[in-house]
Structure 1
Amino acid sequence: MNILIIGPSWVGDMMMSHSLYQQLKIQYPQCNIDVMAPNWCKPLLARMPEVRNAIEMPLGHGALALGTRYRLGKSLRHQYDMAIVLPNSLKSAFIPFFANIPLRRGWKGESRYLLLNDLRSNKKDYPMMVQRYVALAFEKNRVPEAATIPVLTPYLTVNQTQQAETLKTFEKQTALLADRPIIGFCPGAEFGPAKRWPHYHYAKLAEMLIERGYAIEIFGSPKDVEAGENIRNALPQAQQVFCLNLAGQTNLNQAVDLIANCTAVVSNDSGLMHIAAATQRPLIALYGPTSPTYTPPLSDKAVIIRLIEGDLIKVRKSKDSAEGYHQSLIDITPQKVIEKLDELLAKS
């Protein structure tokens, strides 16, 4: 059986989708799984052994482009027995439909009645996104309930030769860190500072860790360079040499290799948080207005810190501080984080 997955467009969602691919291999042991996703996803998919091919989705996140979708679907005809559509949008279901794939499976989403012929409508029975993904591995009348649905932990393979090459690429920058064990910081988050732990808290945590003999490596996209510099510049001058801001300097493959080299990681709720979980690094995950019930880090080496109750709070901008930080994240003290980190490292 050949299966086409229309994959998600976000790093964290892509990582959670790995649980689905693992379950498909259990349900259909001889299946081949191809994933259509944005080009940037390829480094992650290449590290998932269950995936045969990554097919580039050439269209941007909001583009309808029906003509392009038709041509792409037509090029995939007679190749697949089943398609699974993970995004909820109407447009994401067009390519499997145009490809004439016999079985087209997905959640009801955005009015896709004519495009999907195995349509699921009980999404609310599964409170976690990963459960919703895994449910699509099962035939419609055989889906386990949320309490018993198997969720296999996402993981990313790390090739030691490739990792050594990555470490060599950055050896001049990391030389001043000496042989100190590394704690990774992932201070960025999509949609701005409302989902971020304050930079001054990160800096205080870095100061305490450096005093204990650790070094800090900061990871993120080009958008996170400023957040990384704010952390580094808030450190005492003598300690700044032990804090390396790599945000915006790595590609995704390199980021995975470097995160996998860390002793532990401290992260906001972000895509890199899910990558750290998938590399099985001890992880402190800091949540504020987003919900760890819906998208937690899927690792038994992760500890979540959240001081408020309830589901997702839909906030893009916060007025709780001049910098735009949310009060629930401001209230998480560096002392609280280092205590949890100590406990986690002691177990590890």
Structure 2
Amino acid sequence: MKILVIGPSWVGDMMMSQSLYRTLKAEHPEAVIDVMAPAWCRPLLSRMPEVNQALAMPLGHGALALGERRRLGKTLQASGYDRAYVLPNSFKSALVPFFAGIKRRTGWRGELRYGVLNDVRVLDKAAFPLMVQRYVALGYDKPVPSAQQLPQPLLWPQLRVEDDEKRMTAAQFGLSADRPVIGFCPGAEFGPAKRWPHYHYAALAEQLISEGYQVVLFGSAKDRETGDTIVQTLPEAARHHCKNLAGDTQLEQAVILLAHCAAVVSNDSGLMHIAAALNRPLVALYGPSSPDFTPPLSHQARVIRLITGYHKVRKGDAAEGYHQSLIDIQPMRVHQELSALLTAAQE
């Protein structure tokens, strides 16, 4: 059986989608699974053993591009796909499998997709409170009424990284072999309201460095300034042991280096989900966004959040745009959770 999955376009969502691929493989061990997603997803998909190949989706958000989707679908007809699973809920995301003439096309109803999908599932959001449950439920041939009735336990994302890759990449970026690495992911896609304050990250880094660790900051180029601020907030003697790699690594390298970390501290972000899939001891810091929908999927993850519910906040009230609920999470609390995870990992 050949399967095409139209994958999501965000790092965290892509990581959670691996649970569907693992479920499909468990249900159909002979299945060959290809995933169509933005080209930047390839470093993640290449580390998912269930995925045969990543197919680049050349069209971005918001582009209907009907003619291009038709052309793309026609090019896939010769591939002989038996089934398609469409994870985004938009109408346009279902067009490529439709134009490819794939016999069975499965997805949630979304934007009234009857016709372009012919195995349409109707989502009861209360019955599937987690996004990962909604992905996995599509993997069963018959509709599943609720998350409690999924035929098997959730198969959480698991990325594969070899030990040799870790050593080589750590050396490439000049990381010390004498100090264990603690990774910090201080960025967040939707701005400072989802970020733990830089001065808290700096206080935690100073404590960890005094205990013999080195701290590595991860993120995209737009997180570079935040990383620099964290480094500059440290006492001068500690800065040598804190390296800002935000914007300096490609996604492939960041995945390998996160796998190399003894533990990770992260805001609610795509890198948080990658760290969870790498089974790193992880402290995940939440503010206005909620772990009730997209928590880190790992037994080695600890979530710290001081408020309840979902708060649609793009900028906090503090001068730097931080949200008070994240300001209130003190470095000592994070250090306690981190220390407990590191101790458990060594036992």
Normalised to the residue count of structure 1, the TM-score between the two structures is 0.95
In 2, the alpha carbon distance for the partners of 1:148 and 1:341 equals 34
1:144 is displaced (CA, Å) by 6.0
2:335 to 335, 338, 343: 338
Q: How does 1:79-90 map to 2 (within 5 A)?
A: 79-90=80-91
1:220 is displaced (CA, Å) by 0.5
2:167 to 164, 167, 176: 164
1:131 to 126, 133, 138: 133
Asked whether the 8 Å contact 1:37–1:57 carries over to 2, the reply is yes
| Partner residue in 2 for 1:288 | 287
In 1, the alpha carbon distance for the partners of 2:100 and 2:315 equals 41
The superposition leaves residues 58-77 of structure 1 with CA deviations (integer Å, 9 ceiling, x where unpaired) of 11122111111000001111
The superposition leaves residues 80-136 of structure 1 with CA deviations (integer Å, 9 ceiling, x where unpaired) of 111000011111011011111111100111121221111111241200000000000
1:148 is displaced (CA, Å) by 4.3
1:316 is displaced (CA, Å) by 1.7
| Partner residue in 1 for 2:207 | 208
> SS at 1:275's partner residue?
helix
Asked whether the 8 Å contact 1:229–1:245 carries over to 2, the reply is yes
In 2, the alpha carbon distance for the partners of 1:165 and 1:50 equals 25
Report the residue type matching 1:127 in the other structure. Answer: P
1:214 is displaced (CA, Å) by 1.1
1:11 is displaced (CA, Å) by 0.6
Q: How does 1:102-251 map to 2 (within 5 A)?
A: 102-124=103-125, 125-141=127-143, 143=144, 145-149=146-150, 150-171=153-174, 174=175, 177=176, 179-251=178-250
Asked whether the 8 Å contact 1:180–1:215 carries over to 2, the reply is yes
Asked whether the 8 Å contact 1:120–1:140 carries over to 2, the reply is no
1:160 is displaced (CA, Å) by 2.8
| Partner residue in 1 for 2:21 | 21
| Partner residue in 2 for 1:327 | 324
In 2, the alpha carbon distance for the partners of 1:238 and 1:163 equals 27
1:178 is displaced (CA, Å) by 5.7
In 2, the alpha carbon distance for the partners of 1:159 and 1:282 equals 18
Report the residue type matching 2:32 in the other structure. Answer: N
Asked whether the 8 Å contact 1:107–1:123 carries over to 2, the reply is no
| Partner residue in 2 for 1:347 | 344
> SS at 1:77's partner residue?
helix
In 2, the alpha carbon distance for the partners of 1:167 and 1:184 equals 12
In 1, the alpha carbon distance for the partners of 2:265 and 2:195 equals 12
- Give the superposed CA RMSD: 1.2
In 1, the alpha carbon distance for the partners of 2:84 and 2:177 equals 50
Report the residue type matching 2:312 in the other structure. Answer: K
Q: How does 1:6-17 map to 2 (within 5 A)?
A: 6-17=6-17
The superposition leaves residues 219-240 of structure 1 with CA deviations (integer Å, 9 ceiling, x where unpaired) of 0111110111111111111111
- Percent of pairs with identical residues: 63
| Partner residue in 2 for 1:50 | 50
The superposition leaves residues 202-228 of structure 1 with CA deviations (integer Å, 9 ceiling, x where unpaired) of 001111111111110000111110111
> SS at 1:71's partner residue?
helix
In 2, the alpha carbon distance for the partners of 1:182 and 1:165 equals 15
In 1, the alpha carbon distance for the partners of 2:124 and 2:180 equals 43
In 1, the alpha carbon distance for the partners of 2:171 and 2:197 equals 32
The superposition leaves residues 183-219 of structure 1 with CA deviations (integer Å, 9 ceiling, x where unpaired) of 1000011011111101011001111111111110000
In 1, the alpha carbon distance for the partners of 2:149 and 2:160 equals 27
Unaligned runs of 5+ in 2: none
Give the total of aligned pairs.
Answer: 341
In 2, the alpha carbon distance for the partners of 1:169 and 1:45 equals 23
In 2, the alpha carbon distance for the partners of 1:65 and 1:268 equals 35
Asked whether the 8 Å contact 1:123–1:132 carries over to 2, the reply is no
> SS at 1:151's partner residue?
coil
In 2, the alpha carbon distance for the partners of 1:12 and 1:63 equals 22
| Partner residue in 1 for 2:99 | 98
The superposition leaves residues 128-185 of structure 1 with CA deviations (integer Å, 9 ceiling, x where unpaired) of 00000000001234x26312432111011002333333223212xx2xx461111100
In 2, the alpha carbon distance for the partners of 1:216 and 1:161 equals 21
| Partner residue in 2 for 1:62 | 62
Unaligned runs of 5+ in 1: none
Report the residue type matching 2:325 in the other structure. Answer: S
